[in-house]
Structure 1
Amino acid sequence: MRIAFRLLLVTTVAACSPMVPVPQPATPPVQPVETPAQTPTTQPPVAETQPDLSPAFDYASFEQWKNSFLERHGGNRRWEYARELEGITPNPSVIRLDRNQPEFSRPAGTYIQNATAASRIAMARQRTDRVPWAVTQRFGVPSEILLGIWAQESAFGQVQGDFDVIRSLATLAFDGRRRAWAEGQLKHALDIVVDGKRDRAGLKGSWAGAMGQTQFMPDNYLRLGVDQNGNGKVDIWGSDADALASAANLLAQAGWKRGQGWAYEVTLPANFDYTQAEGPKHNWAYWESRGVRLTNGQSLNEAERAEEATILLPQGAKGPVFLALPNHYVIRRYNNSVSYALAIGLIADGVSGKPALQASWPNDGPLTREQRIGAQTALTKMGFDTQGVDGVIGSNTRAALRRWQAANGRTPDGYLTDTLAEELIRRAR
């Protein structure tokens, strides 16, 4: 949920996400593979970034791992770290959730339509005045973008997670699937407590360690947290102002461009070269010369026209098409998922009263993990290397699929449907 110069982490049932100089995500933004905290109305999209599959030593017991951790990371704080880890045992729920990769991957449109429901946008509008004016002025991130993140990460603070962050991260580190990342985050979480920035009882979050209303991982909290209300504490759990200012700081540090939007819906000409989608970036004059047109009477400002932008087809040639500006990619530093970033941007557009999308989302079925892995295996076997078989349909897999589509007389939009996945699997047998 979920990130982050985030995590990543996104593929699971609910997790974290803020931008992290990426170990991950969200998870650590990008982050491992889990994502923003699951809210009552949405589930995180499948992440585009792989988990940190660092080699894992098989410790005989949790105590053996803990002693090793203290030896390797304790330093002059070994006694304090040992005190906070005293009596901790692995949390079976955390291990179960970490291994519970979703069996089905929902199409982008399904995720986005749930995330941008009219009721959610209405709730965001009602909270506009809770985004401090000083925050938007200082960091340059529009209030509606921050409201979108607030909505997705914690349902406006209502779903923050009640897991003991230190226990969760210690469990993930001991389990070993993402040990290097988890141990790094655990050390930061221990520092938060040892330095008195947050008492241990209050260090709560998602099962993957994402914390507060904007689901920051411990490293992002220490590096990017903002004490907006000036009370001497960065309280992303109880203070709307601190949480939103911290999120704004994350986006600003990631390169948010003031005075520019995140993307525009566009239409493509009948003869559009789909191999250019999600490929090289060009300015608006280039795309316009190739027949790309803005919808709903929109227009780009001077700065946006000069930016290098990408054509995105989140659900193929039959779905909505977007001209993605640099700020779209900044949002993806919070959670490296196209669907997530589009959801945040479209919530923001709804809050600011922009027209709804002109194109409708196709009613495609979900993809099972078996279909995703089968399609990747088939493409690679047929000479269209996906750069790994992991069940995550990211940019490498979409590029390989475009090459296969172009070679087989199909529209090379790089979009994998359940029907196409089954065809690929059959052809490769």
Structure 2
Amino acid sequence: MRISLRLILIASVAACAPIVPEMLPVIPTVEAPAPAAPGTPAPAPSPVPAPPAPVVVDQAGFDGWKQGFLTRHGGARRADYERELAGLTPDASVIRLDRNQPEFSRPAGAYVQSAASATRIAQGRARTDRVPWEVVQRFGVPTEILVSIWGNESAFGAVQGDYDVIRSLATLAWDGRRRDWAEGELKNALDIVVDGRRDRAGLKGSWAGAMGQTQFMPDAYLRLGVDQSGDGKVDIWGSDADALASAANLLARAGWKPGQTWGYEVILPAGFNYAEAEGPRHTWREWSRRGVTLARDGAPNAAEALEEAVILLPQGARGPAFLALPNHFVIRRYNNSVSYALAIGLTADGIAGRPGLVATWPDDAPLSRDQRIGAQAALTRLGFDTQGVDGVVGANTRAALRRWQIANGRLADGYLTADLADELIRLAG
């Protein structure tokens, strides 16, 4: 039991994506194809995904990138940066993990049910007293949200990642998918070491460069880290109080609204226009007028009812639907993934003793990297530009898919299933 649980915890930290300093475009996540007409043959099963292509490590190319980085960002600290980067080699495992983040490759239900498990919720309840009350009072972020983030990011500090943060960020920058972001974070990580805030050997984290018990990126650590323990340093690795206060500060600065929850499960009326999912924002009065009801009856509280909210369909028309309030999008300042934010919110609900979901998650197959890249390339060739072909089904891909669905008379909820990916690839030739 101990071994299997640790493997689960390691997987959860390996899945951690970076904390983003600014809100990225927020759009939909998922869909399921409409039921086939009676008598229609069942679709052929999706092929077993091929193993990921090996990552070729080009040391000469990496060294060339490194010199370019030092020229662009070194400035007066070039010699210090050069010393810390000396002898560095790229880490192929970082590139493989970056191309297969489970928040973006697994169906939302599979991700959420794993992250917001009964075990995680029970562990969280047992740790609510570890959140300093003065942190909750100062920042206005509920204990259950902070504990949920703590548990999902590092299994309550037990598994923080043992990657060399500087090497990981240098690898991501060299690989180039998110070069500007990675170079900025690498510079921040180097500054942490050069300024003596943390020694190089102790600067460990996830494959994506996220650090400590609440998995802060270097930029967030420098801007938002809090010395809650009062010992003169921000120790998000060894101090529960510092880690939790830093997370609360991030959420508060991102606009957390005290006295409001993150969202509610809802029931959509017959004939609902699914193209509006993750689109227009309306107050509860307007959504209610359109026939939307809370899954467990009742209504949002008075403050929540005045907020403009978005309908989420994280796994399409067949899956649960949610009314996302502003605090949902604040959580996405931590990790801009619908699945991640739902996992944090639902785990927090469980810790606070609120009932679980009414609807069930569809058992959809995960998308292989070939399917994700192929679908992006196919949509672009068909005239629905995804703004890049990188294998990450994000906001631009979902928006492009929704446009294709509308143009072809499909259910327009922007959800890419394995079957739909295969269909798009065939259509594009």
In the superposition, the TM-score normalised over structure 2's length comes to 0.82
Q: Which residue of 1 aligns with 2:142?
A: 142
Query: Structure 2 vs 1, CA of residues 292 and 160 (structure 1 numbering), >3 Å: closer, same or farther?
Result: same
**Residues 75, 315 of structure 1: CA spacing in aligned structure 2 closer, same or farther, 3 A cutoff?**
same
Letter of the 1:415 partner, please give it: Y
Q: CA deviation at 1:135?
A: 0.9
- List aligned pairs for 1:109-188, cutoff 5 A: 109-188=109-188
- Give 2:21's aligned residue: 20
- CA drift of 1:106 comes to 1.6
| SS of equivalent residue, structure 1 residue 266 | strand
Is the Cα contact below 8 Å between 2:384 and 2:404 reproduced in 1?
A: yes
Does structure 2 retain, via aligned residues, the 8 Å contact 1:95–1:175?
no
**Partner of residue 275, structure 2:** 275
Q: Which moved more, 1:353-362 or 1:297-306?
A: 297-306
SS across alignment from 1:402 = helix
- Aligned CA distance change for structure 1 residues 82 and 351 (closer, same or farther; 3 Å): same
The Cα shift of 1:411 comes to 2.7
Higher relative contact order (CA 8 A, sep 6+): 2
User: What's the offset of the Cα at 1:333?
Assistant: 1.0
* 1:334 alignment partner, SS class: coil
Tell me how far 1:409 sits from its aligned partner. Answer: 3.8
The answer to whether structure 1 residue 336 and structure 2 residue 336 are counterparts is: yes
- Mean Cα displacement is larger for which, 400-409 or 189-198? 400-409
User: Counterpart in 2 of 1:34?
Assistant: none
1:366 corresponding residue in structure 2: 366
- Is 2:67 the counterpart of 1:90? no
Of the structure 1 ranges 295-304 and 381-390, higher mean CA displacement relative to structure 2 is found in 381-390
2:256 is the alignment partner of 1:266: no
Residue 308 in 1 paired to residue 308 in 2?
yes
Q: CA-to-partner distance for each residue in 1:222-257, whole Å, 9 max, x for gaps? A: 100000111101000000110011111111111111
Quick one: structure 1 residues 169 and 252, their matched pair in 2 at CA, closer, same or farther if it must change by over 3 Å? same
Q: What pairs up with 1:30-49 in 2 under 5 angstroms? A: none
In the alignment, is the contact (CA less than 8 A) between 2:91 and 2:168 conserved in 1? no
Which 4+ stretches in 1 moved above 6 angstroms? none
**Which SS does the other structure have where 1:367 is aligned?**
coil
Q: Decide whether aligned partners of structure 1 residues 79 and 420 sit closer, same or farther in structure 2, where only a CA change above 3 A counts.
A: closer
**Aligned 8 A contact 1:12 1:98 in 2:** no
Query: What does residue 36 of structure 2 align with?
Result: none
Match of residue 100 from structure 2:
101
CA displacement at 1:201 relative to structure 2 = 2.2
What secondary structure, in the 3-state scheme, does the structure 2 residue paired with 1:113 have?
A: helix
> C-alpha distance in 1, partners of 2:282/2:171?
45
Render the CA deviation track for 1:182-227: whole Å, top value 9, x for unaligned: 3322222222122221222221112332110111111111100000
Tell whether the 8 Å contact from 2:13 to 2:154 is kept in structure 1 after alignment: no
- Whole-Å Cα distance in 2 between the matches of residues 204 and 188 of structure 1? 14
The verdict on how the C-alpha distance between 1:82 and 1:384 changes in structure 2, with shifts beyond 3 A counting, is closer
Report the counterpart of residue 325 of structure 2 in structure 1: 325
AA of the residue aligned to 2:15: A
Cα distance in 2, alignment partners of residues 367 and 404 from structure 1: 19
Contact 1:162 1:205 in 2 (8 A): yes
Instruction: Return the letter of the residue paired with 2:227.
Output: D
**1:262-284 superposed Cα distances (whole Å, 9 cap, x missing partner):** 11000011121222111110111
In structure 1, the partner of 2:73 is 73
Q: Unpaired runs of 5+ in structure 2?
A: 1-11, 27-57
Distance 1:181-1:125 versus aligned 2 partners, 3 A rule: same
% identity of equivalent residues = 69
State whether residues 335 and 341 of structure 1, in contact with CA within 8 Å, keep that contact through their aligned partners in structure 2. Answer: yes
Question: In structure 2, how many angstroms separate the alpha carbons of the residues matched to 1:148 and 1:159?
Answer: 15
Q: Would the alpha carbon gap of residues 273 and 208 (structure 1) be closer, same or farther in structure 2, given more than 3 Å must change?
A: closer
Change in CA separation of 1:199 and 1:363 when aligned onto 2, cut-off 3 Å: same
TM-score by length of 1: 0.82
CA contact (8 A) 1:185 1:217 kept: yes
Two-structure CA RMSD over aligned residues (Å): 2.8
Q: Which amino acid aligns with 1:314?
A: P
Q: Shift of residue 290 of structure 1?
A: 0.5
Counterpart residue type for residue 354 of structure 1 = R
CA distance in 2, matches of 1:63, 1:388: 26
Query: Residues 172 and 339 (structure 1 numbering): CA distance in 2 closer, same or farther, change over 3 Å?
Result: closer
Unaligned runs of 5+ in 1: 1-10, 30-57
